[in-house]
Amino acid sequence: MTTLYRLAICAHCGADLEHKGTGRPRRFCSTRCRVAHLRAMRRWAHQAVDAIMAGEPEPTLPGCNETRVIRAGGGEA
């Protein structure tokens, strides 16, 4: 039986995050990145509301969380 691990990327800085299958997967590599990301999302929300009220296009959403699945041996699934 092959064990699968999930590798996710920090939603703020892009650092690799390893998840071993138990518990909730991490989204951030540190408290510093978590707080910075939440502040960026709050700033984006204010800018989006202002843009909608002014009839302008919404600003792009900051950050992205990609997930890859790899095998315990190192190859991608």
Q: Pick from 25, 24, 49, 39: which is nearest to 63 by CA?
A: 39
Per-residue model confidence as pLDDT tens digits over 33-59: 999 999 998 998 999 999 999 998 888
pTM of the model: 0.62
Per-residue model confidence as pLDDT tens digits over 3-31: 555 568 888 888 888 877 788 888 888 99
The confidence score (pLDDT) of residue 71 equals: 52
Residue 4 near residue 72 (C-beta atoms within 8 A): yes
Higher pLDDT, 30 or 75: 30
The confidence score (pLDDT) of residue 53 equals: 92
